[in-house]
A and B are shown apart, each in its own frame.
Chain A
Amino acid sequence: MAFAPPKETYSGKVYAVTIGTGENTITFGEENVLPFHTFEGITPNRPIIAYEIQDVPPIDWPENVQKPYEGISNDPVSWAKFCQDNLKANAIALRLIGTHPDRENRSPEDAAKTVRDVLSAIDVPLIIVGSNHAEKDAPVLVAAAEAAKDRNCIIGKAQEANYKTIVAAAMANNHKLIAMSELDINLSKQLNILITQMGFDRERLITDPMCSALGYGLEYTYSVMERIRLAALTQNDVTMQPPMLGDIGMYVWKVKETQASETDVPQWGSTEERGITWEAVTAIALLIAGAELLIMRHPRAIEAVEKVIEELI
């Protein structure tokens, strides 16, 4: 029996988002098909992986993912330069975790200085995320957005509790914005609508439906992402058409499987390989579900995922 390939036609399209300035801009999104469905539509841009760095030394990271950055991660500037120059990062994600009240409680001014220092050291696009403390993130991200004015960064994350201040800061300083809600397609949609109602351009948004690590609720993120992408493409729902973020590293590198030693759990095998694989498999699953932008930590995990992306496009 002759086979007629059952192809889908999609009515919607994901917005293209360009970040960075000058010769070093990168664009992601813009496809009008499900992830990697190049056989029935266009996928002009490949997904982007940003290397995660932070404003304070990564003492909270497991040893196996601290190791690749040994000797350079005590200073965000040398860390950022190492990612750009040695690891050939396409983008860098600076997490201002040190501003969290339970951590070093750094001030918004300190955060702004770190942002300025990092930006003056690198050419690749920068993503700036707060410490995920809704209250503190507001002043921190305002200061960070001003410090990065006109560098066309991504700032985030705007959440229901704090979005107004952060949206205003992104708008005033010409940045893109991450809107994060908690594992629910309707909450995602609602937050995107609230943000655009403030006059923020929908095409400058990135949706973060909230990440989860392999084995720790990954299936929720996976299905929410699939549903968002289907709404964007098959129902042409414009509120669901911004590209999506998978903020993978911070979720993966705190679960037991990325840390427990082989001596403690011999049936799990090598701790180092396990951690790297955990991060890479989480990344692949979310790419398949619809993420266009990933934030990751381990250079070997990133390298492997890049290689697979190459094979998929």
Chain B
Amino acid sequence: MALTGVEIFKLLPKTNCKKCGFPTCLAFAMKLAQRQASIDLCPDVSEEVKQKLGEASAPPVRPITFGVGDKAVKMGEETVLFRHDKKFVNPCAFALEIKDTLSEADINSKIEEVLNSEVERVGQKLRIDAIALTNDSNDIGKFETSAKVVAEKAPAVPVIVCADNPQATEAAVKLFADKKPVIYGANSENADAMANIAKTYKAILGVTANGLDELSNLTEKIKSLGVTDMVIDSGARKAKDMLRDNTLIRRAAVKKNFKPLGYPVITFAQRDDSLYEALIGAIGVAKYSSIIVLSSIERWKNLALFTLRQNLYTDPQVPMQVEQKIYKIGEPMSDSPLLITTNFSLTYFIVSGEVENSKVPSYLAVMDCEGLSVLTAWAAGKFTAAKIAQFIKESGIENDINHRELVIPGYVAILSGSIEDKLEGWKVTVGPREANGIPAFLRSRA
């Protein structure tokens, strides 16, 4: 259970030595209770107290890094149930299931799909993060052979080794030693052997059970065997059960600081129908999964899932921004209209969508206003005549168009005169106040 500031204070030396950087032990205790400081800052506290506090002050969902290097995935560290309370921290990983019953050629082509899955969206590079190799054959040799193909062809991609036979697991996982793989998994039958393998190969141990009670007991047992990094699976496969268990797991961790379930969740979303599978995956994205295993990764499906993840893991306190530049909408020519707006992503999306709807090819100048919308940016002095003039001049758009007319948002009509003063030879036209007026506005001029 989480300790209060006063409970923590009782365990501290109470010397007010300031070595931790805080003025008093009580102030430090308060920071510890809010998880804004680490007990390691106190040089005088005993190891025993450290351990006790370390446990109590650890994040409710254990932080774990899956894989190594550039493609490593951070998991856990979540602190809330609803994204409007505080940002969801570590976006879930998507993993492609590869069965060891496939031919080497088929395994290779699945690996290729994973390696080529990267797309860019709003400045972020998004991809299928991991491979889940499954021992469907129940054959140790076959599993090991398939693991070799994966290790060789996709050496940088984090891997989940899925087998319930410890021997098969060990045969495959040794190929990923030092790469922080996930072993999936330990169950009530094989927990001891699996825990040993996880320790030997420094792997994260996936733990699966029949329900949350059994799962809690199992993670406690495995922890007592010396494995600290786990990902958990309640065994739920039906959407209804998955949503229930994931919700209860997150609640228990965040609200009760219940350690046995304070681990990232792995979700198996596989379905025969790919669209259906995408929707089950979408539930996982929204409801607390840290790894989502898929059976196929068509590009259209990836894009939708990546986008959902990006949307829901956005910090609700920090506006999403798009890159400052002149965007081409349709295939604009030198006489096409030029409009300007700010770089708040929602503003950009709505304005560019309406320009697109108008079917009038246009240039859309999107100016960096630190992600503020038009009126807010204007009020904050970031969308001013001088800055707009400077942006237009430096953008080089004057080489692409043969006219000198700039359409500004109706809400900042007040700027039209001063922009004309600062942009010599330009005419400023006041456009509609709301984006939904853009199609009629552009068509009436075409």
Return chain B residues, CB-CB under 8 Å to A2.
213, 216-217
Q: Which residues of A contact B283 (CB under 8 A)?
A: 284, 288, 308, 312
Per a CB cutoff under 8 Å, which of B239, B252, B273 touches A3? Answer: B252
Closest B residue to A227 by beta carbon equals B84
Q: Which of B84, B300, B346, B439 has the most C-beta atoms of chain A within 10 angstroms of its own C-beta?
A: B300
Residues A214 and B307 in contact, CB atoms below 8 Å apart: yes
Q: A3-B260, A267-B299 are in contact. Are A277 and B304 (CB under 8 A)?
A: yes
Is A274 at the interface (CB under 8 A from chain B)? Answer: yes
**Residue contact B260 to A1, C-beta cutoff 8 Å:** yes
A273 → chain B closest CB, angstroms: 4
Q: Contact at A284–B282, with CB atoms within 8 Å?
A: yes
**A222 to B349 CA separation, bound complex (whole angstroms):** 17
Question: A31 at the A/B interface (Cβ < 8 Å)?
Answer: no
**Contact, CB under 8 Å: B244 / A215:** no
Chain B minimum-CB-distance residue to A309: B239
Contacts of A217 in B (CB 8 A): 345-346, 349-350
Interface residues in B259-309 (C-beta closer than 8 Å to A): 260-261, 273-276, 278-280, 282-283, 286-287, 298-305, 307-308
Task: Assess the B314–A274 pair: CB atoms within 8 A.
Answer: no
A283 to chain B, nearest CB (A): 8
Inter-chain contacts of A226 with B (CB < 8 A)? 82-84
Does A77 count as interface, using CB distance less than 8 angstroms?
no
B316 and A254 within 8 A (CB)? no
Which A residues lie within 8 Å of B27 (CB)? none
Q: Is B335 an interface residue (CB 8 A)?
A: no
- CA A222 to CA B345, docked complex, whole Å: 16
User: A28 to chain B: closest CB distance in Å?
Assistant: 18
B255 at the binding interface (Cβ < 8 Å): yes
- Which A residues touch B121, using CB under 8 A? 215
Task: Give the distance in Å from the alpha carbon of A220 to the alpha carbon of B320 in the complex.
Answer: 11
Task: Answer whether A6 and B256 are a contact pair too, CB < 8 Å, given A214-B311, A223-B84.
Answer: yes
User: A254-B353, A274-B300 are contacts. A307–B276 as well, Cβ < 8 Å?
Assistant: yes
Q: How far is the CA of A226 from the CA of B301 in the complex (A)?
A: 25
Number of interface residues of B (CB under 8 A): 61
Residue in B240, B255, B279 whose beta carbon sits within 8 Å of that of A313 in the complex: B240
A163 on the interface (CB 8 Å rule)? no
> Do B353 and A3 touch across chains, with their CB atoms under 8 A apart?
no
Inter-chain CA distance A134–B311, complex, in Å, is 30
Is A146 an interface residue, CB under 8 A from the partner? no
- Bound-state CA distance A278–B300 (Å) is 9
A6 to B248 CA separation, bound complex (whole angstroms) = 6
Complex contacts, A257 vs chain B, CB 8 Å? 303-304, 307
Tell me if B251 counts as interface (CB < 8 A to partner A): yes
Pick from B119, B216, B261, B316: contact of A223, CB under 8 Å: B316
How far is B36's CA from A212's CA once the two chains are assembled, in angstroms?
35
Task: Tell me if B239 and A312 are in contact (CB < 8 A).
Answer: yes
Q: Do the beta carbons of A5 and B212 come within 8 Å of each other?
A: yes
Contact A308 B119 (CB under 8 A): no
Confirm or deny: B106 has a beta carbon within 8 angstroms of a beta carbon on chain A. Answer: no
A230 CB-CB contact with B under 8 Å = yes
A308 and B280 contact, Cβ closer than 8 Å, known pairs A6-B255, A274-B303, A281-B305:
yes
B213-247: CB near A (< 8 Å → 1, else 0) gives 10111001000000000000000001110011001
Residues in B with CB closer than 8 Å to A219 are 83, 311-312, 314, 316
Whose C-beta in chain A lies nearest to the C-beta of B306?
A215
Q: Which residues of B contact A222 (CB under 8 A)?
A: 83, 286, 311-312
Does residue A38 face the partner (Cβ distance < 8 Å to B)?
yes
Known A255-B353, A304-B275, A312-B240; judge A3-B280 contact (CB<8 A).
no
The CA of A13 and the CA of B220, in the complex, are separated in Å by 38
**A37 interfacial contact with B, CB 8 Å:** yes
Cβ contact within 8 Å between A285 and B282: yes
Bound-state Cα–Cα, A39 to B243, Å: 10
Cα distance A214–B305 in the bound complex, in angstroms:
10
Known contacts: A3-B212, A102-B440, A284-B283. The answer to whether A268 contacts B299 by CB under 8 A is yes
Contact, CB under 8 Å: A3 / B84: no
Assess the B275–A37 pair: CB atoms within 8 A. no
> How far is A219 from B282 in the complex, measured between Cα atoms in Å?
13
* Contact present for B279 and A304 (CB under 8 Å): yes
Segment 219-269 of A: residues with Cβ below 8 Å from B: 219-220, 222-223, 226-227, 230, 254-257, 267-269
Nearest residue, chain A, Cβ from B299: A269
Name A196-217 residues within 8 Å CB distance of B: 212, 214-217
Some 14 contacts from A to B, beta carbons below 8 A apart, are A3-B215, A3-B258, A5-B248, A216-B349, A222-B83, A223-B82, A223-B83, A255-B353, A268-B300, A269-B303, A270-B299, A277-B301, A308-B276, A312-B283
Q: Can you name 19 extra interface pairs (CB under 8 A) apart from A219-B83, A269-B299, A307-B276? A: A1-B217, A8-B251, A212-B346, A218-B308, A226-B83, A226-B84, A227-B82, A256-B353, A256-B356, A257-B304, A268-B299, A268-B303, A270-B298, A273-B274, A273-B301, A281-B308, A288-B283, A308-B239, A311-B239
Report the 3 A-B pairs with minimum CB-CB distance, sorted nearest first.
A269-B299, A269-B300, A274-B300
